[in-house]
Structure formats: C-alpha cells, structure tokens
Chain A
C-alpha cells in the first residue's frame, strides 16, 4: 500500500501537495514577529502603527495634565471626541517625526543619552545622579534598560530635528525695524466728551412705559423658590466658651506638669579627649588623661592643654570648645556628666566609647521655669478643650439621635442639648449669602425629605466642629415678582437706555459735523459747550489717565493720512460717549532701543517664525507619507 503511494506520488501533483502542506508549518507563529499581536491599530503612519493601547495611555496622560491645569476637573468644553482627535493628531505628528529621524539617519549619540539620563530627577539622589537609584527605578517600573535608552535616543533625535528646523528661522533687520516702528507707534488723539449726565433731565417716560417693559421682560423678574428655615446649631467653640474653669484645679495641674514648663537647658561645654583604640590601650589612655587632669587641677590652662593633647582635633584647635550643647546631642556618659556639673567645675575622667574625656561647662543657659501666671491661659484653654470635647461628643450623639427620632420638630432636640431653635431669613434656592451660603444647607433644605415630607434634615457638617440640623418652616414656589417690587429697577434700566440713546444721537450729530460739514473740534466744543481734550499723544499700552476705550479706539483706525484726521466715536464705561479724532501717527524709533531690547524683539520674532517653520515641515511630512486613520 505505502509502496503504491510512493510509486504514484510523483510529478507536479505531489510537489503541489507538499508545498501546500508546508505553508502552515513555515508560517506558524509568524504574527508574533510581524504584527503587534491582537492590539488593534488606530492609525498607520508609513510603517509606524499607532495602537489602541498606546493611544489610550497618551489620552490618559493628556487628561491628567488637563485635570492638573484646571484644578482637578476637566472643563466641559473639552469633549471627549475633541481630546481624542487632538491626541491622535499629536501622536501622528510624533510618528511622522520619528519616521523622518530614521530616514535622515539622525541618531542621538551615546553621550547625549547618558547626559539626558543623568539629568533626570527621578534618578537623582540629593541632586546628583545615582546609578543604584537608576537601576532600582527601572526595576520597580518593570522597564528594560535597553528599550528605555533606545526610546530616549529616539526622542532626543526628534528634538534635534525639530530644534534644527525651528531655531534656524531668522528675521532680517529691516523686519525688526518695521515691527518696532509699528509696535511703538504713538497716535495724536483729541476728543469731545458727550457727557451722559447732561441728558438726565431730558429723559421722559411714564408709568405705562414701566409696565410695558415689565410685561415684555417678564422672565427677567422672577423670584426663585425660597424657604425659611428653623435650625439648631451645635458649635464646639460656643460650648467651650461656656465651660467654667476652677483655678485651683489649674494650679494643681501646673504643679504636676512643672517639667513641661521649663525652657530647654543649654550648656556651653569644652572637653579634652584621649582616645582609646588602635595602638592606645585603655590603661595608657587613662594614665595620660589622669596626668592632664592633675595639671588642670594644678592650674594649667584648659584650652592650651586641649590644643596640644586632645584627640578630638576639631574641638581641640578651638581650645576644646564644643559650643552650645543640648540634651540628646552627645553620647550618654558625656551628657550625664555635662548636665550634672556646676558652672566652671572640672569633671573627673569620663569614659565614653571614644575614650576618656575631661569636661568643663563654661556657661549654663535656659532651664528656667515659667511661672503659673505665664501658663495659666494655656492650661485653661487645654482644660476647656478637653471638657468641651467630651461634652461635644455627648451632645452630637443626642443631636443625631433625637433629630431623627422626633423628626417632626426641632424643639425636642434643642431642649436636650440646651440650645434654642433659631429661624432664618428667606433662603432662595439659587443660594443665599452669609451662613446659609453653604451648599450643603441648600441641598438639604430643598431635598425631598425636608422640603416635601417636612422632616428634620440629617446632621449637616458645615465646617470643622460646627453642625446643624434644619427643617423647613415656610416655603414659597418661584413666582413673578410683583410690578411694585421691581418698578424702581425698571425705572433705572429705562433711564439708562434713554440716556444712552440720547447721548449716542448727539455724538452722531457731532460726528456728522466733523466728517461732512467741515467743522473743527475746537469750533464745535465752543459752539455747543462740550468738553474738549486736545492733542494727547497715546501709546498702544501703558498710558496713564487716559480712558483705555479711547486708546483702543485711537488705534482702531488705520494709519491717518498726512494732514487728514480720522474721526469716530466710542462709548465709555459710564455711558458717556467720546467723539474721537486721530490727527497723526508717530512711528516708534528703532534706534531708541538698547541692544538688549532689540535682541529680545529679535528672539521673540524668531521663535514665532520658527514655530511656523516647524508646523510647515510637519505638514510637508504628512503630505509626503501615507497616513491612514482607521475608523472604528
């Protein structure tokens, strides 16, 4: 049978079958090498694929950044599609640049990569690069050092490319001159002031106008839903203020705690140390120390001996002086002795783990006890706080329990904790001022339980140690405000409208005289007794005592032609109108700038132009490569 097959399996047919069978074996597992496995691809830039996963991770970073920028919350005008679009775009640009870095055979050198790693803060300890730290961070984040450095190399390469394109942008001297001439241009401006106040007495309207306005603008005059609240308040500060203090008890506690009211004692100390260890045996050291001690007792100069003999070279050269010593700074045997000595007394030999010390205390400071009167207030405050804490705990429990148990009234709980039920003024749903501005109160008061079922609210924590329970005493739905309540407001609105209308009309007449009837500002001012401000020279910014509206209007005209003024009008903040004439423009003087100022203008312009260059370069890259965005 097998022989039979072997005999027949010859020629092209046999080969075809063998090839077909071998294909799956040959290609088995190839996707592991070729594609990224199962991670879906959202865009393809040339050969570079942007995967769903890398996009999501960039998106998360971007969101985190935004959140940080806007104080914890992403504003709503950033919708998710927009963010996605933006992140994808940035990733495409990144990929285009990466590809180009590769094409141009740009590769950051080893030294550049090393420097970059050394300058990264995460790998530093005390401001210096630390190799162990570097390896530790890498391990803890599960990152491969090779992959990390190659990534870094790539981003350095990208930086090199973008830097080369943008920083090489230039600006010619003529362009800088032109900018300075225009930017520092000043304009000569005159204006006639049409004062809104002078039209106040020409205003006329009757009650029917107010009513008409009221009827036409009803939605403006709504009073929001509001409640009056009954409430009880539990306040830690108030509780503690009510606690009386027994002076005798305070005095007793003062006596008990006297140690706490001593200021820390410091002693200025000097010593001579004879070290034990190395070649020096304990006995030898002791013998030498004893000899020195005898000399000192015989009247030799301590400082002199310290300089010559002390093995503590640091203090020795200062005559053995250790400066000010506090408890806890020195080894135990040294400290015990130093704080037992009288001032100027010479110690016997003291054995520490360093060797033998001869110690002298040259000055004692502090260690004073504060008097009862000095600390009385502090003790009283502590006492009150302790007592109040206890009381507060009790009362809080009662407040929570009784306001819930007897939820139809606040009186029970108020009696129990010894406070009065108080009543608020109207609290609108849109928010009140003062104590009731707190959003928690509004939320509770207009919640279903309190508003509709007439129950007490939960205990509301307003701020630290201040608690409140509220119930609704009175409730009014949103209504139209009656005409009488708002007529004064409407009157002032109408007054303002009419004033503006009259003022603007007057301004138009004046403007017409200037532009069409050949009047001059001086004549008009005299004829119509208007206030004229003449020939002020204004800069684009930084003018003092000139209304910014007038300045911005003065620069809103195009450059006035020689000997021909441009005229216009602008409304000022108080409703008055200025009729403006710009008679000439004075160019800025490039020569007036210092070399430094000029340089900074140049750099600013170069930077803007450089960004333009880079944007263009990336657009060109995009046009030249295939960018595919997958729809999903």
Chain B
C-alpha cells in the first residue's frame, strides 16, 4: 500500500490478486476443513474402538473367573487378535497368569508374565509385573533369579511387596536375621499379608544374648 490509489484501481488490484491466489486459498480451506472433520472422525472411531475393547475385556474378566485355563487362553487369543496392543489385552494376560498359577502351572504363568513384561508400555505396571514374576520364581525355588529380579526393580512404589518377597527368600535360604528384618520392613511399609505375621512368629524375636 505504497501510494494513494483510486477506488477503481484498488478493486482492479484485488481482482488480479484473487485471480493469482484464489485457487490456492480455496484448496487450503478445503484441505483444512477436510482435515478437521477427518480428525473428528478419527477421534470418534478411536473412542468407539476403546469402548468395544473395554466391553470385550469385561466379558473376558467375568467369564474368566471360572478358572478354566484352556477357555481363558482361547478367549485371550481372540481378544488379542481384535485389540492387539491395547491395555485391555495386557490386563487380560495378567488375569490369565493368575488362573495359570491357580491351576498350578507356574511355568506357563511365568511365560505369560515374561511376554507381557517385554511388551508392556505402561511404566507403572512394569515393576508390578516384576514383583509377580519374582513370586513365581520363589515358588519354583529359583531363589537367586528371584533376588536378581527384585534387584532390577528401580522403583520404591512396590517396596512393601518387594520386602515381603526378600523376606521369604531369606527365610528359605535359612538366613533368619535377614528374613526378620525384611519381613518387618514389609509390614512397616504397609503389607497386610497374613503369612508375614505367622512367618515372623515362626522365626521368633531377635536373640538378645
């Protein structure tokens, strides 16, 4: 806008400018609006998918309590093929592991949790899975591995459970002083496990002499 121009001249200029740029502006608007609606649609689609996943998981969790591992396994495969890398299939795998333990298949449960640990992207879940794995290792008398598993947890959040497992390991290794210390720590950090009380009773108080 350098010089004074007459109205007609200004209109002429605008027309010329529109001729040069009009198409690209219209294209821009169309792309913008299209993108906006596509984004809206995508969000809705994602929500719908998440909702369906939740329903599938609920169905799984409810029917899963029958403790029939084979059926649960199939249902899990189905869920994973439909809702592959969602949280739902991770939760379902955790439930499967519980049932495997309950049915006495410790190795199968270990495999389930191991796979899940490698897959999971939920950083809050990782240490929980590690404590559960450690429990399984203890139950299989692989005490050293269990200890290493606990060492690898770099979080304080599950300290009560970690200490409880360490106490169990020390007890099984015959180190009563360490077991007592660890179990007392577990209670102090809030563990309500009934077994800890009885285990402490069995170990007995610290010898004062």
Contact = CB atoms under 8 A, between A and B. Distances in A.
B139 A175 contact: yes
A164 B157 contact: no
Contacts of A604: 194
A407 B100 CA distance: 86
A418 interface: no
Interface stretch (A15-23, A308-316, A618-626): A618-626
Contacts of A605: 193-195
Given A109-B52, A112-B54, A620-B157, A613 B128 contact: yes
A179 B168 CA distance: 13
Contact of B101 (A161, A167, A172, A616): A172
B74 interface: no
Nearest to A613: B128
Nearest to B86: A105
A172 B155 CA distance: 24
A623 B156 contact: yes
B54 A105 contact: no
A: interface residue count bin: 35 or more
Interface of chain A, helix or strand or loop or mixed? helix
Contacts of B204: 557-559
B15 to A, nearest CB: 24
Interface of chain B, helix or strand or loop or mixed? helix
Interface string B182-209: 0000000011111100110111110000
A191 B131 CA distance: 45
Given A106-B50, A167-B61, A172-B101, A182 B124 contact: no
B98 interface: yes
Contacts of B199: 178, 182
B44 to A, nearest CB: 11
A168 B98 contact: yes
Contact of B202 (A109, A157, A182, A624): A182
Contacts of A602: 102
B101 A107 contact: no
Interface string A156-194: 110011011101111111110011001101000000000
A171 B138 CA distance: 12
Contact of B51 (A107, A169, A609, A613): A107
Contacts of A174: 139
A100 interface: yes
A214 interface: no
Contact of B203 (A108, A183, A558, A617): A558
Interface stretch (B5-13, B29-37, B89-97, B143-151): B89-97
Contact of B157 (A111, A172, A619): A619
A620 B95 contact: no
B: interface residue count bin: 35 or more
A110 to B, nearest CB: 6
Q: Which of A106, A157, A179 has the most CB of B within 10 A?
A: A106
B117 interface: no
Contacts of B132: 169-170
Q: Which of B88, B102, B123 has the most CB of A within 10 A?
A: B102
Given A558-B204, A620-B155, A171 B55 contact: no
Contacts of A111: 55
B166 interface: no
Nearest to A182: B198
Contacts of B123: 620, 624
B124 A621 contact: yes
Given A100-B124, A105-B46, A624-B123, A157 B95 contact: no
B158 A106 contact: no
Nearest to B87: A104
Contacts of B54: 106-109, 112, 156-157, 160
Contacts of A268: none
Contact of B195 (A108, A157, A182, A612): A182
B167 interface: no
Given A164-B94, A169-B98, A620 B158 contact: yes
Contact of B87 (A106, A606, A609, A620): A106
Given A612-B160, A613-B128, A623-B155, A558 B201 contact: yes
A611 interface: yes
Contacts of B156: 619, 623
A608 B61 contact: no
Contacts of A182: 195, 198-199, 201-202
A621 B122 CA distance: 10
Contact of A168 (B47, B91, B203): B91
Nearest to B67: A599
Contacts of B128: 165, 613, 616-617, 620
Contacts of A620: 123-124, 127-128, 155, 157-158
A129 interface: no
A185 B190 CA distance: 25
Nearest to B103: A173
Contact of B97 (A164, A170, A559): A170
A164 B203 CA distance: 35
A608 B50 CA distance: 30
Q: Which of A105, A156, A185, A557 has the most CB of B within 10 A?
A: A105
A557 B101 CA distance: 34
A175 B52 CA distance: 37
B176 to A, nearest CB: 10
Interface in A588-632: 602, 604-606, 608-609, 611-613, 615-617, 619-624
Nearest to B46: A105
Contacts of B127: 616, 620
Contact of A558 (B106, B158, B202): B202
10 contacts: A100-B124, A104-B87, A110-B51, A168-B98, A170-B132, A185-B198, A555-B201, A612-B193, A616-B160, A617-B157
Interface of B: 46-47, 50-55, 57-58, 61, 86-88, 91, 94-95, 97-98, 101-102, 104, 106, 109, 122-125, 127-128, 131-132, 135-136, 139, 155-158, 160-161, 190-195, 198-199, 201-205
List the 5 shortest-distance A-B pairs measured between CB atoms, nearest first. A558-B204, A109-B51, A182-B198, A164-B91, A168-B94
Interface of A: 100, 104-112, 156-157, 160-161, 163-165, 167-175, 178-179, 182-183, 185, 555, 557-559, 602, 604-606, 608-609, 611-613, 615-617, 619-624
Given A112-B54, A179-B195, A182-B198, 15 more contacts: A105-B46, A112-B55, A112-B58, A160-B91, A170-B135, A171-B101, A172-B101, A178-B199, A555-B201, A558-B203, A602-B102, A608-B193, A616-B127, A617-B157, A620-B128
